[in-house]
Amino acid sequence: LRPPTVIGQFHTLFFGSIRMFFLGVLGFAVYGNEALHFSCDPDKREINLFCYNQFRPITPQVFWALQLVIVLVPGAFFHLYAACKSIKQEDILQKSSYTGFYIFSVFLRIVLEVVAFWLQIQLFGFKVNAIYMCDVGALEKKFNITRCMVPEHFEKTIFLIAMYTFTVITVILCVAEIFEISCRRLGFLKTQ
């Protein structure tokens, strides 16, 4: 069962293909070796690991993979419901209860994307700096703050901005899909 609107079908293509490809291929290339090349002064394994865990409480690839999975859940529930009830694609926009449930799943996607956007800002910010100042006081060292070098910080900044952009595009597509469904239900657009 494919989405009942043109925008929904485009969203599936955009979300499913482009965003996952971007994350899977380029995300691994940019972030795949970050922990190995993260180095602090003094360059000791225990300090590097401690500071890297402070710098990245969750790796961006894991965060974005979780975001993709969680955002897919409302649509998956709707499609599971539609499959169990043998709902045809054309019925989704014709029956109010099906339309309402579908709109609710799209609205839930919007909410989840906005929450993920906010969490991404809290975790990663908008820019990756070349130097990270790490508090190593918990390791009982002489100096409480040490400098750490972040590898490929410029590439990571570009990738962060791209992931923010994907989230914004997804939210816009979801809002546009709700608008398209509303227009079809009100008779402003012909149903497919």
- Convert the pLDDT of each residue in 86-132 to its tens digit: 888 778 888 888 889 999 999 999 999 999 999 999 999 999 999 99
Share of the chain above pLDDT 90, in %: 47
The residue count for the chain: 192
Q: What is the pLDDT of residue 1?
A: 62
Query: Are residues 171 and 110 in contact, defined by beta-carbon separation less than 8 angstroms?
Result: yes
Q: How many CB atoms lie within 10 A of CB 74?
A: 19
| Structure confidence at residue 53 (pLDDT) | 92
For residue 141, what pLDDT band results from cuts at 50, 70 and 90?
low
SS3 for 86?
coil
The residues spanned by each domain of the chain are 6-184
pLDDT of 175 over the 80 cut: yes
- The H or E element that residue 133 is part of is strand 131-135
Query: Quick one: average pLDDT of 35-53?
Result: 89
Q: What is the mean pLDDT of residues 144-156?
A: 91
pLDDT of residue 123: 94
Residues with Cβ < 8 Å from 8, sequence gap 6 or more? Answer: 2, 106, 177, 180
70 falls in which pLDDT band (50, 70, 90)? very high
- Please give the DSSP secondary-structure letter assigned to residue 187: T
pLDDT of res. 183 = 87
pTM of the complete model: 0.85
184 pLDDT tier (thresholds 50, 70, 90): confident
Question: What does CATH list as the number for 6-184?
Answer: 1.20.1440.80
- Residue 28 has a pLDDT of 81
Distant-in-sequence, close-in-space partners of 131: CB < 8 Å, separation ≥ 6: 147, 148, 149, 150
State yes or no: pLDDT of 80 exceeds 70: yes
The residue with greater pLDDT, 56 or 26, is 56
Mean pLDDT, all residues of the chain? 88
